[in-house]
Amino acid sequence: MRQSYVVRREDLSVVRGRVHAARQWTRLASRSDVVACQFDELSIDNIWNQMLKLGLRTVRPWITSIHLQARWSELMSVFECVSNIEPYRTMWRRLVFDRHAERYRDAIVWVRRLVELLVPSLRGGLDDAPSLLFDMNVLFESVVARVVKRRMSRRDGIEASVQERGTHLTRTAGPGSRRMIELRPDLVVRESKRVRTIIDAKWKRVDTTRDGMPSRSNADMYQLLAYATAFGCDEVVLTCPWHGGLGANPSANFEFNTRRSGSPIARVCFLNVFSDRLDLVGGDPPFLSRSEIE
């Protein structure tokens, strides 16, 4: 840990450094047993180590790993003699990375990123703000998969697989047939090894039409029909995020015109991403009855 000289002022029985005259002839004027001293002391209690300790204190609420909790405790014991400081926006201007402090640069950069999440500058200017970007389609697909899998676990004989590969929509005609156009549905739900439902999750805003039904794009319906045809299932589901404009009970069911008995059904349901429970909105979910959810 970097050490630097800091100015100390203490009342001692012997002179150390130099006498602090102002205090000696005012506060201690009637005391002949002590001397007000001012001296420099080599210490780890400097701005660099205070910054690192601030970073440790900042991340503490986010640590869930037992291993990291133990590591955090070890590091905090090392910083026991370092003062706690509170973050403020201009604190970084005090830092000058000389040759002795250069090795602190990477750690200080991470501390600054963490602290600026707590005290961001809301004014326009030269200050950079941290940002973090997610592919919301991938994130929403994973959330839908976790919700469905959690509910599937309550029933025997039902399993769900994510991003399943190996099924193709077409094959070339004639000898030497080759499979073409591989399909990768977001979620395949099977019951007793038979495909029961295909679920396609899309992070997109769906509004209502004039007749009050959720709108749907032709491309989405073509994709659902392709899944139903290739997997031979009776039900395909499009899941999108719910918002207040859809109302409390949006629902839409469509029967594909395949000119055969038992045509597959396409259903549209919504996931309430505003609720920690991540409820499915729009009637009973297609893959579980209401009693099974409760």
Burial of 101 (0-12, 13-18, 19+ CB in 10 A): middle
**pLDDT tier at 37, thresholds 50, 70, 90:** very high
Domain shared by 201 and 274, yes or no:
yes
Q: Supply the pLDDT for residue 293.
A: 37
Query: Can you tell me the mean pLDDT for 176-192?
Result: 84
Tell me the pLDDT tens digit for each residue of 260-272: 667 888 888 888 8
Domain shared by 86 and 152, yes or no:
no
Structure tokens at 190: 């099977």
Tell me, yes or no, whether 123 lies in a domain. yes
Domain shared by 237 and 112, yes or no:
no
Q: Supply the pLDDT for residue 288.
A: 47
**pLDDT tier at 292, thresholds 50, 70, 90:** very low
Query: Can you tell me the mean pLDDT for 234-244?
Result: 87
Tell me the pLDDT tens digit for each residue of 195-229: 888 889 999 888 888 777 787 788 888 888 888 88
More confident residue, 222 or 282: 222
Helices 105-116 and 47-59: angle between axes, nearest 10 degrees = 50
Domain shared by 123 and 144, yes or no:
no
Weakest-pLDDT range from 26-30, 144-148, 172-176: 172-176
- Residue 289, pLDDT > 90, answer no
Residue of 193, 221, 197, 108 lying closest to 144 (CA atoms) = 197
**Residue 70 burial (CB count, 10 A):** 11
Mean pLDDT (the chain) is: 82
Domain shared by 94 and 23, yes or no:
no
Q: Supply the pLDDT for residue 294.
A: 38
Cβ atoms of 3 and 42 within 8 Å: the answer is yes
Domain extent, residue 197, equals 136-168+179-293
Domain shared by 284 and 162, yes or no:
yes
Q: What is the rounded distance in angstroms from the CA atom of residue 52 to the CA atom of residue 75?
A: 10
**pLDDT tier at 290, thresholds 50, 70, 90:** very low
Q: Supply the pLDDT for residue 72.
A: 94
**pLDDT tier at 69, thresholds 50, 70, 90:** very high
Q: Which residues contact 186 (CB under 8 A, 6 or more apart)?
A: 141, 144, 145, 162, 163, 199, 200, 201
Tell me, yes or no, whether 269 lies in a domain. yes
Tell me, yes or no, whether 174 lies in a domain. no
Domain shared by 189 and 289, yes or no:
yes
Query: Can you tell me the mean pLDDT for 278-286?
Result: 63
Q: What is the rounded distance in angstroms from the CA atom of residue 150 to the CA atom of residue 164?
A: 18
Weakest-pLDDT range from 48-52, 190-194, 216-220: 190-194
**Residue 217 burial (CB count, 10 A):** 12
Domain count, the chain: 3
Domain shared by 222 and 260, yes or no:
yes
Query: Can you tell me the mean pLDDT for 56-84?
Result: 91
Cβ atoms of 252 and 216 within 8 Å: the answer is yes
More confident residue, 129 or 235: 235
Tell me the pLDDT tens digit for each residue of 120-132: 555 555 556 556 7
More confident residue, 282 or 196: 196
- Residue 85, pLDDT > 70, answer yes
**Residue 132 burial (CB count, 10 A):** 6
Query: Can you tell me the mean pLDDT for 89-111?
Result: 85
Domain shared by 140 and 110, yes or no:
no
More confident residue, 234 or 285: 234
